Amino acid sequence: MSLKRKRVLLGMSGGVDSSVTGYLLREQDYDVVGVTMKVWPQDCISRAEDKCCGPQAVADARAVAHSLGIPHYVVDEADLFERTVIDYFTSEYQAGRTPNPCVMCNEKLKFGNLWGKAEALGCDYIATGHYAIIDHQAGHAVLRKGVDPRKDQSYFLFSLRQPQLQRALTPLGPMQKPEIRKIAHSLGLKVADKVDSQEICFVPGNDYKAFLRSHLGEKEFHRGEIYDVAGNFVAEHDGIELFTIGQRKGLPGGSLRPRYVVDLDPETNRVIVGDADDLVCDEFEIDRTNWIARERPAEGADLTVKIRYSHPGTRATVTPLENNRARIRLHEPQRAVTPGQAAVIYHGDVVVGGGWICRREALVPA
């Protein structure tokens, strides 16, 4: 008597990565069901052909599924996407923080709410085209970096809990991007040369300021004043939402040295500017920590921390604190440690856990 094939729900974005993931799963004898989430709300201004949340993405995913001989469904997650991703995105900027919507989308939608659809379809796993490795062990899952350092996406999965990881598959983790395109070409998939999106899927042209103006309206912006680190008034500004830590462009002139945004105070709507040296930080705290590893890091453990997705990582000492927080002491000071971004902790290529960077004490008293 043959064993029943494991069934997997594959999140299909219409891109080459998730398309080849479907082929790899089929070759591994999984019973694959393709699903594309329709997440663009009616007022979203980014419904362009190159967006993973746009109508063209749905058409591409459907065509690939047909080519692979797997069923394909479209599920409408627009309302949930609006509440859990777009509202989070806008409220973080209003709070003087810089959001990371991809982490939130993975946690709440792709590996979160979508599980209900997977169960309804009798699926055992959810699979995606992420470049990360999930090792399934007895009662535990280990999240590792993808082997292609240019594409590794383990950073974006740090907030997944064990139940989510244990039912997740990421077949592309052990592979390099050129391998993926070669497979797609061999299969004759029309998405083989489709350009990877480098933008937030719902923000056209990567212009988050234009998106905030369109989505919130000018009246919702928190106007205030710009001060330097010495407490001197510099200028007025049109909204704290329009600034991020490390920003140089768009600041008022009149300084002999380049000015950067070094702090944002949502209590007073103040933007604080300073020199490049004022951006340097060697210690900060994170909150809402998620520990993926079986044990929390021991004092003095040789760990590395990525303070943003594009950051190469730097050695650090991590001390777990009460109230789901942790202190990160960087062995080498880093620039632009940005509140609202994720700090992800690694031991070698293993994701130990991570959390959200907290704002430090105000640089200029109110």
Mean pLDDT of the region 46-55: 54
* Alpha-carbon span 228 to 262, nearest angstrom: 9
Nearest C-alpha neighbor of 165 from the set 115, 91, 102, 239: 115
Residue extent(s) of CATH 3.40.50.620 domains in the chain: 7-205
**What pLDDT is stored for residue 172 in this prediction?**
97
Q: Return the SS3 of 90.
A: helix
Domain 7-205 belongs in CATH node 3.40.50.620: yes
Tokens of 304: 């590395």
Exposure string over 315-350, b if 16+ CB within 10 A, otherwise e: ebbbeeeeeebbebebeeebbbbbbbbbbbbbeeeb
Task: Say whether pLDDT at 335 is over 60.
Answer: yes
Whole-number pLDDT of residue 1: 40
- Catalytic residue, chosen from 105, 123, 281, 358, is 105
Give the residue among 320, 314, 321 at the shortest CA–CA distance from 295.
320
Q: How confident is the model at residue 45 (pLDDT cuts 50, 70, 90)?
A: very low
For residue 134, the cross-strand partners are: 143
In the prediction, which pLDDT does 175 show? Answer: 96
What Å distances lie between residue 166 and 44, 105, 137, 228, CA to CA?
34, 18, 9, 49
Taking alpha carbons only, the member of 183, 173, 187, 170 closest to residue 8 is: 170
Question: Does residue 53 have an active-site annotation?
Answer: no
Distances (CA, A) of 240 to 103, 182, 221, 243, 273: 23, 46, 7, 6, 13
* Mean pLDDT of the chain, nearest integer: 90
Q: Where are the beta strands (DSSP E) in 44-137?
A: 72-76, 125-127, 132-137
* Per-residue model confidence (pLDDT) at position 146: 97
HSE-CB for 77 with a 13 A CA cutoff: 25
pLDDT at 46 over 60: no
Neighbours of 269 (CB within 10 A): 17
pLDDT tier at 41, thresholds 50, 70, 90: low
Per-residue model confidence (pLDDT) at position 42: 53
pLDDT one-digit tens code per residue, 156-185:
999 999 999 999 999 999 999 999 999 999
Whether the CA torsion 219, 220, 221, 225 is positive or negative: it is positive
Q: What is the C-alpha to C-alpha distance for residues 89 and 340, in angstroms, rounded to an integer?
A: 10
- Distance from C-alpha of 217 to C-alpha of 231, rounded to nearest angstrom: 30
The boundaries of every CATH 2.40.30.10 domain in the chain are 280-357
Q: Which of 102, 123, 201, 281 is catalytic?
A: 201
Q: Which two tokens stand for residue 292?
A: 């993926």
Q: Which residues of the chain are in CATH 2.30.30.280 domains? A: 221-274
Residue 310 binned pLDDT confidence (cut-offs 50, 70, 90)? very high
- Is 201 one of the catalytic residues? yes
pLDDT grade for 252, boundaries at 50, 70 and 90: confident
**3-state DSSP call for residue 116?**
helix
- Percent pLDDT > 90 in the chain is 74
- Residues 85-120: pLDDT tens digits? 999 999 999 999 999 999 999 999 999 999 999 999
In this structure, are residues 30 and 122 in contact, taking their beta carbons and an 8 Å threshold? no
Instruction: Please state, in angstroms and rounded to a whole number, the distance separating the CA atoms of residues 131 and 302.
Output: 24
For 280-357, which CATH class? mainly beta
Split at pLDDT 50, 70, 90, the class of 137 is very high
Amino acid at 51: K
Label residue 49 by pLDDT band (50, 70, 90). Answer: very low
CB of 121 closer than 8 Å to CB of 33: yes
Q: How many CB atoms lie within 10 A of CB 156?
A: 22
CATH ID of 221-274, from 3.40.50.720, 3.60.20.10, 2.30.30.280, 3.40.30.10: 2.30.30.280
The token duo for 6 is 């494991």
Whole-angstrom Cα distance, residue 68 to residue 357?
42
205 or 192, which is more confident: 192
pLDDT at 277 over 90: yes
CB atoms within 10 A of CB 59: 13
Task: Identify which of 87, 217, 72, 152 has the alpha carbon closest to the alpha carbon of residue 144.
Answer: 152
